[in-house]
Every structure is written in C-alpha cells, then in structure tokens.
Structure 1
Amino acid sequence: MSGAGAPDQTPVDCHDLRVAIVAASWHTQVMDGLVAGALRACHDYRVEEPHLVRVPGAFELPVVAEALAAEGYDAVIALGVVIRGGTPHFEYVCNAATDGLGQVALNHRTPVGFGLLTCDNDEQALDRAGLEGSREDKGYEATSAALLTARTIRAIQRPQET
C-alpha cells in the first residue's frame, strides 16, 4: 500500500482560488467518498464554493477538465475510478484519462488534481476512497496537491501578492 513518505500538506488559505471538481459517476460508493474528500479539502483550505460537475465515467474527465480550465479555474480536481476487468478496456481508459488530464494541465498551466483510482478490484478502490475504514483519502489528497500547486503558480506569476 502506498502512502508512506507522503508530504506534509498543511492546509493554507486558498479562499481566492476558483476551484472546480469534475467527478465520474461509475462506482457510486467510491465516488461519494472521493467527492466528500475533495469537498472536505476545499473546506480545510478555505475554498469558497467549489464548482462540482459530474460526468458519466473516467474517459470523460479530460474533456470536461479542459472546458473548466479554459473557463479560468485556478485548479481542477479530477475524480474517478476504473476497476480492472477481463478485457483491455482498463488500460485504454486509464491511459486516455491520464494522458488527457496531463495535457489539460500543461496546455492551460492549470493544476489538475489527479484523483483517478486505477485499481485491480473493488476492495482496493474502497481502501483509497476516504470512507470510514479506508486507509487513504485520495479525493482529499488530489485536492490538496492541486491547491498547493495553484498557490505555487500564483507566486511565480505574481510574486508581489505572496
């Protein structure tokens, strides 16, 4: 299980950042945990009114993240889960979503919090979903990473404001 060596990501004030969360709809229990973790992180970082958008699945995350980044959001958090099955579908969806989200971040210089779980089974996904009894909270972690990165980009672009 990963998680060892995670950085200390003490919440900082991000009330002035516009934040969007794009979340897939498959695997409701896992997704509810990921979204709750992302919203909890937004609260802890003092993000006011994060914009939540739902999409059908993980494959749709990049195109909606692209639209949100183009609208000027300071950070976009992408949440989804893909469970390995018996066909190559898993690899295709995971690769497309991962590559697409990376392109959005680079094209717009907008942090995209990577909260896409790519798991072998339901148990692994539940263990990372931030639910009661889960060992990890990837929704919170992805949001924290995106917010701290957005703060870093803002400091680079406008050093007089930091």
Structure 2
Amino acid sequence: MSGTGAPTSHVDGTGLRVTIVAASWHTVVMDGLLAGARRALAEAGVTDVREVRVPGSFELPVAASRAAHHGADAVVALGVVIRGGTPHFDYICAAATQGLSDVALRSGVPVGFGLLTCDDEAQALDRAGLPGSHEDKGAEAAQAAVATVVALRGI
C-alpha cells in the first residue's frame, strides 16, 4: 500500500487562505476527497477556505493557477482519472500532473496534489477517505499544501 511510511505531523495553518479546486467526475470518490480535505484544513486551523468545482481533472491546472494568482496561500487540487480502454487516461493524467506542477513552480504557491490516477474504481474508492478506505488522499493533499506553506515561510 502506498500509504506505508507516510509522515505524521500537525502544522498550524491559522490565517491561511486555501482554495480547493475539485473535478466533478466520479461523485462518490470526489465527495470523499473533498470531505478529507475539508477535515484536514479544519484540523490545521484553516478557516478561510474557498471551493471551486471544474468539469474534470484536465481543468484543475487552470483553476489552480487562477486561485494562486488571486490570493490563495495554498491550493488543494482534487480529481480522479480511472483508466479506460484508450490512451485518454495517459494524456489527461500527464497534462493535469504537469499543469499542477507548473502552477506551483511559476506562482510559488504550494499545490497539494490530490489527483488519483487509478486503474479501476476499486483503487479510487480505497484512496478516497470513505468508510472502509485504506487511505485519505484528500486529507493528505490538504496537509501537504499547508505544511509546504509553513515550510516555505522558514526559508
């Protein structure tokens, strides 16, 4: 399981402005990812949270870029792409991943990476933070975004 060895830490995100950008496909999985991100932000003391929904994972980078350039201290990007029978999966995953990396590097605003790239729906459900899931990637992405803001302040 990829969650093995994950760090456990608590950082204080009080006063941070965080935008969650979330895709709309795969409602059950996305509901779990969003709930996990919201919970992790609340636990970190983040109260200024905006949410933006976009059609799919391909649109996450442009929404993350807009948020980064309009006052967000951090962005949490959430989406899920499930492999199908065509190369579409590879193109969407690569474009979304590269786009989110570019947003973080160009803007200097941390982007928590909560994009699930799964072979099947069972893998996505197992990572969605739902009852019975083994991982909570929405929470992990939010925690990473807040922790990175705090780390960057120390540089």
Q: Deviations over 1:74-133 (max 9, x none)?
A: 100000000000000000000000000000000011110000000000000000000000
Structure 2 equivalent of residue 145 of structure 1? 144
Q: 2: distance between equivalents of 1:49 and 1:149?
A: 17
Structure 1 equivalent of residue 123 of structure 2? 124
Compute the displacement of 1:155 (Å).
2.1
Structure 1 equivalent of residue 34 of structure 2? 35
Structure 2 equivalent of residue 16 of structure 1? 15
Q: 1: distance between equivalents of 2:95 and 2:74?
A: 20
Residues 36, 136 of structure 2: 8 Å contact kept: yes
Structure 2 equivalent of residue 115 of structure 1? 114
Letter matched to residue 27 of structure 1: H
Structure 2 equivalent of residue 55 of structure 1? 54
How do 1:61-140 and structure 2 match up within 5 A? Answer: 61-140=60-139
Number of paired residues? 155
Compute the displacement of 1:21 (Å).
0.2
Structure 2 equivalent of residue 160 of structure 1? none
How do 1:146-161 and structure 2 match up within 5 A? Answer: 146-156=145-155
* Stretches of 4+ aligned residues off by more than 2 angstroms: none
Compute the displacement of 1:72 (Å).
2.1
SS of the residue aligned with 1:50?
Answer: strand
TM-score (norm: length of structure 1)? 0.94
Percent identity between matched residues is 65
Structure 2: which 5+ runs fail to align? Answer: none
Residues 16, 48 of structure 2: 8 Å contact kept: no
Work out which of the two has the higher radius of gyration on C-alpha atoms and give 1 or 2. Answer: 1
Letter matched to residue 38 of structure 2: L
Letter matched to residue 92 of structure 1: Y
Q: Deviations over 1:55-90 (max 9, x none)?
A: 000000000000000112110000000000000000
Q: 2: distance between equivalents of 1:4 and 1:130?
A: 15
RMSD: 0.7
